[in-house]
Amino acid sequence: MTPFTSSIDYAALGDRLRAYRLGASLQAEDVAEKLGLSRAVVYRMERGEIVKIETVERLAQLLGTSMASLMGVEVEYYANFLAFFERMRQLEQSADRIMAHFEPISLLLTSGDYLHYLRLMLLETLPQAKVTGEGSAIGEKEIEQLVQILQERITSFTQRRPGIVSLVGLRELERFVHTGLVGRLDLPAALHKKRIAAARSEVARIADLMESEPMHVQIGLVDDAMPSSTFQVFQSANRTVLALSPFRLGELPNVRNGIATVTASPEAVRLYEEMISRLWKTAYKGKAGADRLRELLARA
């Protein structure tokens, strides 16, 4: 008799469970208590061990999502930024190649100082952004959690060195160097000047990367309007997954409002791969792109 092989990817189910749990601000013991399970069982589920269908249904209800989304059958929806960026971290860990457009530049290609400034920018948004969802606060704790997830993404990328194709919008970079790494626009003049200098350093870094052309990094500078939603396509030996994000990690960041999605739909993946190919063909690359960025810095 032929052994039964399940079509369910339990490891991916465990990853999504962890992402949604973080987004719901729940510890493993919280989930265990609410479902009448042991904490060890919850950890085993997040490691990809077999889950009863009844338990999946109860988990989906507890975590505020659908069973289809938790199972990865259709589109995964993420209204919470922690859940989405944790899911991004998981997908990047198994990706052999990443194709990305994040404003103003892919986080994976930023300098070692960028997360420091991002943390400050997010803190600067707090006076004007006190609540999200149904009254749950975004505060320093959530920002620190996000920074930790982002640091893990950068560390994994640096160690694994998957190939990355990064599309960078020239118009977005122009705005970036004029605005600076700020969370709001009413900062003291001296501090604003320092943040503009930090933004210029990031653009200079991208110029250096374009000119040096590391084997695993390809950057295309696009002198055209870019999509309003940022995206990443994760390619691995087993499948290709598309993530769309309304969240911004650049100047005037937004992690409060928007719905991010993750899907392996062949049609969605194909359409984005075709768009990436079209934008890549006309993009400035290598030294030509580096020269354009240095001209931008000289003008600004």
Taking 70 as the threshold, does the pLDDT of residue 72 lie above it?
Answer: no
Residue 256: inside a domain = yes
* Per-residue pLDDT, 135: 42
Number of domains in the chain: 2
**C-alpha 187, offset from chain centre:** 27
Question: Among residues 71, 94, 116, which one ends one of the domains?
Answer: 71
- 189 and 264 together in one domain: yes
Residue 146: inside a domain = yes
- 66 and 93 together in one domain: no
Q: What's the pLDDT band for 39 if we cut at 50, 70, 90?
A: confident
Residue 247: inside a domain = yes
Taking 80 as the threshold, does the pLDDT of residue 53 lie above it?
Answer: no
Residue 257: inside a domain = yes
- 183 and 47 together in one domain: no
- Mean pLDDT (the chain, rounded): 89
* Per-residue pLDDT, 4: 52
Q: What's the pLDDT band for 89 if we cut at 50, 70, 90?
A: very high
Residue 124: inside a domain = yes
- 137 and 59 together in one domain: no
What is the CATH number for 265?
A: 3.30.870.10
pLDDT, tens only, 246-265: 999 999 999 988 999 999 98
- 89 and 205 together in one domain: yes
Distance (Å, whole) CA 172 – CA 160: 29
- 168 and 195 together in one domain: yes
What is the CATH number for 38?
A: 1.10.260.40
- 207 and 255 together in one domain: yes
Question: Among residues 71, 101, 122, which one ends one of the domains?
Answer: 71
pLDDT, tens only, 193-222: 999 999 999 999 999 999 999 999 999 999
Taking 80 as the threshold, does the pLDDT of residue 138 lie above it?
Answer: no
Q: What's the pLDDT band for 129 if we cut at 50, 70, 90?
A: very low
- 135 and 85 together in one domain: yes
Q: What's the pLDDT band for 58 if we cut at 50, 70, 90?
A: confident
The residue segments making up the domain with residue 267 are: 76-299
Exposure string over 155-187, b if 16+ CB within 10 A, otherwise e: ebbeeeebebbbbbbbebbeebbebbbbbeeee
Residue 5: inside a domain = no
Peptide bond into 104 cis (omega under 30): yes
- 35 and 110 together in one domain: no
Question: Among residues 49, 71, 93, which one ends one of the domains?
Answer: 71
Taking 90 as the threshold, does the pLDDT of residue 180 lie above it?
Answer: yes
| DSSP 3-state percent helix, strand, coil across the chain (nearest 5) | 55, 15, 30
Q: What's the pLDDT band for 136 if we cut at 50, 70, 90?
A: very low
Taking 50 as the threshold, does the pLDDT of residue 177 lie above it?
Answer: yes
- 43 and 132 together in one domain: no
Residue 225: inside a domain = yes
The pTM score is 0.81
* Per-residue pLDDT, 73: 64
- 231 and 263 together in one domain: yes
Taking 50 as the threshold, does the pLDDT of residue 133 lie above it?
Answer: no
Residue 1: inside a domain = no
- 84 and 213 together in one domain: yes
